[in-house]
Structure 1
């Protein structure tokens, strides 16, 4: 059995060989620019002439809407122009069995998270000197990650987990910690800081492309649940 700290440490090390935080691409830059330049809300309404412009369907956001391993779907100014000027992002977090959101933080927003389905464990380190805060979220339960706090989420169960996340910025930003150490800072400085060889060109070459926001988690969980990395489930 893992202790909470040991589990968090194991997953953190796993994140060095994975990259998971998707980057939102602005879908209609010209419309967003026009909305930003509009003098009044009535002017903005005139630019959003179709009722369909006011509806965002999380279920249709492929490939991010999946549970193998999962994904993060952001409704914000980049993905939903009608959100421009409202100062927030609403996200749906899908975590398939044994999947995780690896250690990351949002540089420009606090993050409120409420569980809708499943059983999700969250971990947070807010700053130097702080303690590890661990929560287990069942449906209807919520937690908060203050702005800039490093956090992660893990579905340790064999059923899908789903959460809704609200961030108080329409461009909250996301920084995956593992990505900084393997494809960001100089390897020799990272290794000197940790006192061991964690970063190298070999590790960086194994980083997966920017994906949908979720990674497979611990091999022990995958084995217990009969889940293969390709997303298939094997009865155990």
Structure 2
């Protein structure tokens, strides 16, 4: 019981101290709209009339493709018009040493995640009454986060971790839990719900800035790996 309470406290702390908002900007709204209303598949293909329209380079998506602390690159209807109407998002998840994806959920899609490099710990709660599911993913291992389940991923090692994620919607959406409490619901109600002063200007000032999907994780890990939050390596 003590271990579960400690983990719950850590997750709650992560909600309010690790803050990332990964929002994909639609690159060509008019093309997406035309693809959605095309009468036939041949009409859709005519709108995607050159080979470049079918190629997506994850590594060229700056600033999201990075490992300090890391980032999420989505290939979906917003970032890649060819994905419009195909019912799928592919994402590349980069977790630098001691980084994390803070607690979040996808309102419109289930999420399949497979590890490519490194060692990643995942946590998932699906609903009230469900147990916490914890997995350790090393290369070739995978897990599933059902639609709208809250989950997070942590790289507690000193090496980069990389994962590939598949979601069964080309517009899966992402909701970071911290944003709901810090910038969404009335602060006085959040504080009443948790029985303490969590939604306040003081807490908000300590949150990490909006990132590219990944944020720095535990200070103990950063110290062990000799990393400062700005991504530079130091000696202790």
Shorter chain as denominator, the TM-score bin is over 0.9
Contact 2:106 2:175 in 1 (8 A): yes
Alignment of 1:21-170 (within 5 A): 21-170=21-170
How big is the shift at 1:197? Answer: 1.1
4+ long deviations beyond 6 Å: none
**Residues of 2 paired with 1:70 and 1:4: CA distance?**
28
CA deviation map 1:172-200 (0-9, x unaligned): 11111111111111111111111111111
CA deviation map 1:20-46 (0-9, x unaligned): 131000001111111111111111111
Contact 1:22 1:213 in 2 (8 A): yes
Aligned pair count reads: 235
Q: Which moved more, 1:128-137 or 1:191-200?
A: 191-200
**Residues of 2 paired with 1:21 and 1:143: CA distance?**
23
Structure-1-length-normalised TM-score:
0.95
How big is the shift at 1:63? Answer: 0.1
Contact 2:18 2:217 in 1 (8 A): no
CA deviation map 1:137-189 (0-9, x unaligned): 00000000000100000000000000000001111111111111111111111
Contact 2:19 2:209 in 1 (8 A): yes
How big is the shift at 1:19? Answer: 2.0
Q: Which moved more, 1:94-103 or 1:189-198?
A: 189-198
Name the SS of the counterpart of 1:46 in structure 2.
helix
Structure-2-length-normalised TM-score:
0.95
Name the SS of the counterpart of 1:16 in structure 2.
helix
Name the SS of the counterpart of 1:108 in structure 2.
coil
Alignment RMSD: 1.6
Q: Which moved more, 1:114-123 or 1:12-21?
A: 12-21
CA deviation map 1:74-124 (0-9, x unaligned): 000100000111001100000000000000111111000000000000000
How big is the shift at 1:233? Answer: 1.8
**Residues of 2 paired with 1:182 and 1:90: CA distance?**
29
When residues 222 and 208 of structure 1 are mapped into structure 2, their CA distance, relative to the original with a 3 A threshold, is closer
Alignment of 1:186-201 (within 5 A): 186-201=186-201
Contact 2:107 2:174 in 1 (8 A): yes
Name the SS of the counterpart of 1:190 in structure 2.
helix
Structure 2: gaps of 5 or more residues: none
